[in-house]
Amino acid sequence: MNNKFLHLFFLLFLSVNLLAQTNVRVYGYVIDTNNRGVELANVHVDNSATVVTTNPNGYYELSVRVKDSVTLIYSMVGYQTIRHTIHPHQSVMQLSVQLPPLSTQIAEVNVVGQRRQTSTLDALDPSKFRVIPNTSGGIESYLITFAGVSSSNELSSQYNVRGGNFDENAVYVNGIEVYRPLLIRAGQQEGLSFINPDMVQNVSFSAGGYDARYGDKMSSVLDIQYKKPTAFEASASVSLLGASAYVGTANKRFTQMHGIRYKTSSYLLGTLDTKAEYKPEFFDYQTYLTYQLSPKSELTFLGNFSQNSYQFVPQTRETKFGTYQAPRSLTIYFDGQEKDLFRTSFGAATFNVEPVSGMKLSLLGSLFYTNENETYDISGEYVISDVQLDADANKQTGESLGVGTYHQHARNRLNATVANLAHLGEYNLGNHKMRWGMAIQNEIISDKISEWEMRDSAGYSLPFSNTQLNVYYNLKSSTKLSTWRSTAYYQDTYKWNSDAGSFSFTGGLRANYWTFNNELLVSPRLSVSFLPNWKRDFSFRFATGVYYQTPFYKEIRDTVTDALGNVTVKLNNHIKAQRSLHFVLGADRYFRAWGRPFKFTTEAYLKLADRVISYSVDNVQIVYSGKNDAKAYTAGMDFKLYGELVPGADSWINLSLMNAKQDIVGDSYLSHTYDANGKILTSKTVYPGWVPSPSEQRYAFSMLFQDYLPDNPKYKMQLKFIWSDGLPFGPPQSIQYRSAFRAPAYRRVDIGASRVLVSGVDKGMNKSWLKHVKNIWLNVEVFNLLDIKNVNSYYWVTDVYNQKMAVPNYLTGRQLNLKIMVDLK
């Protein structure tokens, strides 16, 4: 009896003791005496095994059970240790501490603080943005919220940077430039980008003024580094838009990663005006392997295979457009289908060695192959009509303004192989960091094009002729191209300190030679940064250089029209690389507000370009003139506020202002005056001069905001907001009205909510069959929350009065997406 009484008393005492304890969430920042966050500082709960480390901003958070009080110990090599005892009276506490430096220097101690930007490259941590709403599923969707970056098509992963087009953006993965399919003309066909977000370690991006080690593009560079796992890791996700799986393992000498992605956008395409049977299926497999031959040498291999299959059987389309005073409606009844298949393969092997201390040498070999097939036969019968303002939808169709038919046909096939052999080197010597590289590349392309479009309006084939039957558009080609390209670069970064502050100077040269046009290019580049020793935390940078956009294939396709109106492709071997002179001046202001870190960035830029190859854009298809026929300039300013609007969650706000103009040299049109009977009285030649560039967006505002419930940070919210100027456009083949009009502004809000279930913390995660599960993320996303009808491009039709009308092609509407992500251990 006594034993039972003692046992019962012990259980009662233990229960009362546990109930008296409170589970408290403590969060805050560890900063130094200069108000900078201290990274990798330890926050340890005294007399327990609980310890966490701070992130690059000095932020930490932990959960601890407290009875009366608890002591937290803050420590970091090179700083004094701080002990802080808390007596919590609430379930959430914010506690920030300042670590004074040790008075005695400790040899060979590297104290890590917040990163200061000393070049035009900006860094992004991809792990922080896994749950951000994203229709394309790629890293590129995060770039859209960067200053100077814009996109007007959520179905595509392509982006514009400071007035440039999609082809002016260089993308590197592990130091190797990657390519995308060439025939894609619409975001619906595009599928998955090359970059697999699950495999990414570091992301760096520059919107201009980048170093000589980056290739021959005029607008931007995206530098991706894949990670090397240190232990077993795996994850999987599934949503209404597709699925993905990733696994990585490591031992002492060998690491491997494998990633599989599947995407289908048929659910999203169901919100378009064109009602159809959409069957887009996109598949991608990637692997990254590393093997350490010795402590100073290793072999790596990066492999990729992707397949984009797009089948489209249109049925009907009804689009309302026009103004309040003149509303219009276009109704189309379709027949036919489209079948596209794009297959790409990529492999890259690298041998890395460190022969001496401070030197790294690499030998890289890569092979890219793409096989692209685009076939369609689609006919449509359309009716243009007035729209009556009537509450009854059945009575809104008014007088018919025109009827017509069209037929679009294509049998396009392209094969391309790009083989590259390169050497890269890096050597640190004192305050100098030298980089160099050289490469030789063979490009083999076979292109067969057969496409035409017939239009019939009011019983007449367009363009109308009394003597022959014309088609509205036709293009044929059968070309083969085999060329060699060689590149080389050298750059040196020199850093030194003075009483005024820290300086960094980078100068370099880049050379390029192409056998197709026998052109040798030399590109000097220079950047300077300054971190002053001021009481307030600033950094300044300036970059300039000559940047060439070397033609690949699409840029050299000139067209020739014969006497019968047949258009064929001729490769222009007299074409020159486009050239742009960059000036970029930027400044950062680092500060703390409400105890949290922030960075305000301002950059002003000017780009002067000549030998420009003019182009037009339809959806994501860029059609070049095939000749150096223009000059251009772009000037603007970007503003960005980056920081933790709520503790531990990064958010940012961007504003970009831009003026981008181009002048097609020698273009002109005749302007007439008429009498009362419509006869020409006088004529004069008009030279349009400077007009808006096809990618000019005069303003762009974007915001990414993240939040969570203070009492339970496992519940998170993400909001992405974009409002950017519409792009210029005009009637096809019209000099007089080139870029005369502008599409409506692109406005979009995507929002997501998520809940994370953590192993060992959430009760539901303690099941035996979940023992290998680390986290489970449950996400709900709403794309285009406000259901705004954004315009992607225009389809031009002619009414009975011979007036051309631009019918907008609208993008996707509001859509709900559910997503589950699982991390394994």
Average pLDDT of the chain to the nearest whole number: 87
Max CA pair span of the chain = 123
Percent of the chain with pLDDT over 70: 92
Label residue 17 by pLDDT band (50, 70, 90): very low
For residue 608, list its beta bridge partners. 581, 633
Residues in the chain: 825
- pTM of the shown model: 0.86
How confident is the model over 709-721, as a mean pLDDT? 89
**DSSP-derived 3-state class of residue 11:** helix
CB atoms within 10 A of CB 216: 22
Label residue 36 by pLDDT band (50, 70, 90): confident
Label residue 394 by pLDDT band (50, 70, 90): low
Nearest alpha carbon to residue 495 among 119, 241, 35, 153:
119
Residue 545: CB partners within 8 Å, gap ≥ 6? 209, 212, 523, 524, 525, 526, 527, 581, 582
Label residue 114 by pLDDT band (50, 70, 90): very low
- Output the CA–CA distances (angstroms, integers) from residue 199 to 145, 179, 259, 712, in the order listed: 21, 18, 7, 29
Label residue 758 by pLDDT band (50, 70, 90): confident
Q: 54-68, 107-121, 495-509: which has the minimum mean pLDDT?
A: 107-121
How confident is the model over 213-229, as a mean pLDDT? 92
Measured CA to CA, the distance from residue 307 to residue 238 in angstroms comes to 19
Residue 401, pLDDT score: 79
The two structure tokens encoding residue 93: 């506490």
How confident is the model over 749-761, as a mean pLDDT? 89
Nearest alpha carbon to residue 791 among 320, 193, 157, 267:
320
DSSP letters of 519-556?
EEEEEEEEEEEEEE--SSEEEEEEEEEEEEE---SGGG
**DSSP-derived 3-state class of residue 656:** strand
Residue with tokens 């393969």: 345
Label residue 7 by pLDDT band (50, 70, 90): low
Residue 513, pLDDT score: 97
* pLDDT tens digits, one per residue of 489-527: 999 999 999 889 999 999 999 999 999 999 999 999 999
Measured CA to CA, the distance from residue 518 to residue 629 in angstroms comes to 19
How confident is the model over 219-232, as a mean pLDDT? 93
* pLDDT tens digits, one per residue of 295-323: 999 999 999 999 999 999 999 999 988 88
Residue 641, pLDDT score: 94
- Output the CA–CA distances (angstroms, integers) from residue 623 to 307, 347, 546, 617, 627, in the order listed: 24, 29, 25, 6, 12
- State yes or no: pLDDT of 531 exceeds 80: yes
Residue 465, pLDDT score: 60
- State yes or no: pLDDT of 106 exceeds 50: no
Residue 595, pLDDT score: 82
- State yes or no: pLDDT of 543 exceeds 90: yes
Q: Tell me, what amino acid is at 704?
A: L
Q: Are 16 and 636 spatial neighbours (Cβ–Cβ below 8 Å)?
A: no
